Amino acid sequence: MSLVYLKRGESVRLNFSRGLRTIASTLERGAAGTREGRFFSASLAPDLPWTLPVEPVEAIEDAIRAMIPRGAQVERLEILLGTSHHVLGEREWSEAHSRVFLACFDARTRSRVEILRGGATPAELDLRGMAASLRSWHQHGEPRVSEEVELGGPVTAVLAAHFAAAGSIPPEVPLLQEPHPSFPLDGNGERIDRFDAAGSRRAEWPNVDRPSYRVPPRPAILHARLASIASDAARPELRAVEPLGGVRSRGAAVEIETLMEGGGGSFFAHLRIPLSSLAQLARADDTIRWFPVGAGAWGETLIARNVEVESVGDGLR
**Same-domain check for residues 302 and 208:** yes
pLDDT category at 37 given cuts 50, 70, 90 is confident
Looking at the domain assignment, is residue 128 inside a domain? yes
- Domain end, chosen from 67, 97, 132, is at 132
User: Given this model, what pLDDT does residue 142 score?
Assistant: 52
* Domain count for the chain: 2
Q: 119 and 155: one domain? A: no
CA distance to 28, 54, 96, per residue, from 153 (Å): 32, 29, 22
Report pLDDT digits (tens) over 211-235: 999 999 999 999 999 999 988 778 8
142 in a domain, yes or no?
no
pLDDT at 35 over 50: yes
User: What's residue 295's pLDDT?
Assistant: 95
Is residue 216 in a domain? yes
128/78 same-domain check: yes
Q: Mean pLDDT throughout 169-185?
A: 96
Mean pLDDT of 295-312: 92
Q: What is the pLDDT of residue 15?
A: 97
Task: Write the DSSP assignment of 283-303 as a string of letters.
Answer: EEEEEEEEE-STT-EEEEEEE
Whether 137 is in a domain gets the answer no
Clarify whether residues 228 and 164 are in a common domain.
yes
Neighbouring-strand partners of residue 76: 17, 103
pTM metric for this prediction: 0.89
Looking at the predicted structure, is the pLDDT value of residue 304 above 60? yes
Bridge partners (DSSP) of residue 249 are 254
Question: How confident is the model at residue 110, as a pLDDT?
Answer: 77
Secondary structure (DSSP) of 107-143: TTTTEEEEEEEEESSGGGG-HHHHHHHHHHHTSB---
pLDDT on residue 140: 57
Q: Please report whether residue 221 resides in a domain.
A: yes
Do 183 and 210 touch, CB atoms closer than 8 A?
no
What pLDDT does residue 136 have? 84
CA–CA separation, 309 vs 269, rounded Å? 6
Residues 152 and 300 in one domain: yes
Residue 141 domain-assigned (yes or no)? no
Residues 6+ apart with CB under 8 A from 33: 1, 2, 3, 4, 5, 39, 40
Of 132, 166, 190, which one is at a domain's C-terminal end? 132
Q: Residue 278 pLDDT > 50, yes or no?
A: yes
Distance CA 24, CA 3 (A): 32
Q: Which band of pLDDT confidence, cut at 50, 70 and 90, is reported for residue 315?
A: very low
pLDDT band at 52 (very low <50, low <70, confident <90, very high): confident
Residue 36 belongs to domain with CATH number: 3.30.2290.10
Q: Which domain covers residue 162, as residue numbers?
A: 148-311
Kindly report each contact of residues 233-238 with a partner whose C-beta sits within 8 Å and lies 24 or more positions away, as own/partner: 233/282, 233/303, 235/150, 235/284, 235/303, 236/146, 236/148, 236/149, 236/150, 236/303, 237/144, 237/146, 237/262, 237/263, 238/144, 238/146, 238/148, 238/149, 238/150, 238/262, 238/309
Residues 122 and 249 in one domain: no
Based on the fold, state whether residues 114 and 23 are members of the same structural domain: yes
CA distances from 144 to 141, 264, 266, 309 (A): 9, 10, 10, 8
Co-location of 217 and 246 in the same domain = yes
| Rounded (10°) CA dihedral 150, 313, 77, 134 | 50
Residues 6+ apart with CB under 8 A from 132: none
Check residue 203 and give its pLDDT: 95
My answer on whether 65 and 100 are in the same domain is yes
In a domain, 139, yes or no: no
Residue 190 lies in a domain: yes
Same-domain check for residues 165 and 48: no
| % of the chain with per-residue pLDDT over 70 | 95
DSSP annotation of 44 reads -
Residues 218 and 301 in one domain: yes
Report residue 138's pLDDT band, with 50, 70 and 90 as the boundaries: low
117, 75: one domain: yes
